[in-house]
Structure 1
Amino acid sequence: MIQTLAERWPVIAVVIACVAVLAFAGAAATNVGPWYKALKFPRLKPPDWAFGPGWTTIYVFIAASAVIGWGAADAEDRTTMIWLFAINGVLNVLWSPLFFTLQRPDWALIEWVPFWLSIVPLVILMFWITPLAGWLILPYLLWVTYAGWLNWRVVVLNRPFGSDAAATPRK
């Protein structure tokens, strides 16, 4: 079921609104203040300024994938898309407060696993619906895979966190 551009405008508006809420929620929970700046990072970490444009690009690709996928999907696939995007959106938003607000990269790393796993069926579904939607959402999986590696390295280089951190002096 291919839709014309005029028929897609309501879908485009809803997708943009949802992606904007996700982006703003994640940004609001991201504090790169003194605690963050004191962390040790792996050499392969991009500069802090690159994360904003990186995530913005990823969100544009996610939105484009959703709009294109919606236009090509049948009713059953649309229902599946809504559920998969909703679950992924919740897990996406949850990561930033764990890492930045609660200052618990260890908890964020644990949460990263279901977050990453929630992207895999999205990629598969979008490729199933139309390869273009699949290719557009694939960078999200790759970026979150890389972000998980960064998260893991931060945990390894800086642990312990939380109440254990107060009892353990930093080296």
Structure 2
Amino acid sequence: MRIISERPQPEARRKWQSHSAAVAAVAVTAVAGARAVDADSAWYKALDKPRWQPPSWAFGAVWTPLYASVAWAAGQGLSRARGSERARLAAGVGVNLALNVAWNHLFFRRRSPRAGLAGTVLLDVSNIHLARRLAATDRAAAAALAPYAAWCLFATALNVSLVRRNRAG
């Protein structure tokens, strides 16, 4: 039994701090990315889209659990990594989340499917790198990124289709 005045063990504190930081970083990413999206714009509505593109509402429904899995995986990996590996993992998470936000700005704010494609390819590479780095620390955390990586690959395929169908962008 733990007495209330006892301080949490360093391990428990590190886990709590790591998960809290990951949740905060992913929440900032989700908000910053969502603010850049304008699926109701005349520009976006005018794009020639493939028949297999999901409806607009599906993106929010899919991204919510994906972001939760990214936050859990990042927090889990960061809580288990030590020293320079922890710093490299934190940098990898930060780069990945920055690329995640960047796609929204490249595609929607710049109104450029081509720029968006470059961004999503970089995100795919970052996902592979992040999964490999997480696997070295926590295999379950790396596995939790699989749906996120798969959805990003789907988004890349969709982005390729949009570039092909809308050559001016």
TM-score (norm 2): 0.87
Partner of 1:8: 15
Partner of 1:97: 105
Cα deviation 1:78-115 (Å, max 9, x = unaligned): 11111111111221111111111111011111222222
Distance in 2 (CA, whole Å) between partners of 1:148 and 1:38 is 20
Answering whether residue 87 of structure 2 is matched by residue 118 of structure 1, we say no
Pair 1:128–1:54, CA change in 2 (3 A): same
Alpha-carbon deviation of 1:20? 0.8
Partner of 2:5: none
1:83 maps to a residue whose letter is A
| Match for residue 128 of structure 1 among 129, 133, 136 | 136
Distance in 1 (CA, whole Å) between partners of 2:86 and 2:101 is 22
Partner of 1:28: 35
Partner of 2:25: 18
| Match for residue 55 of structure 2 among 47, 50, 62 | 47
Is the contact between residue 23 and residue 72 of structure 2 (CA under 8 Å) also seen in structure 1?
Answer: no
RMSD of aligned alpha carbons = 1.6
Task: Give the length in aligned residue pairs.
Answer: 159
1:139 maps to a residue whose letter is P
| Match for residue 78 of structure 1 among 86, 89, 92 | 86
Q: Runs of 4+ in structure 1 displaced over 6 angstroms?
A: none
1:136 maps to a residue whose letter is A
Structure 2, unaligned runs of 5 or more: 1-9
Q: Secondary structure at the match of 1:42?
A: coil
Q: Secondary structure at the match of 1:44?
A: coil
Alpha-carbon deviation of 1:28? 0.3
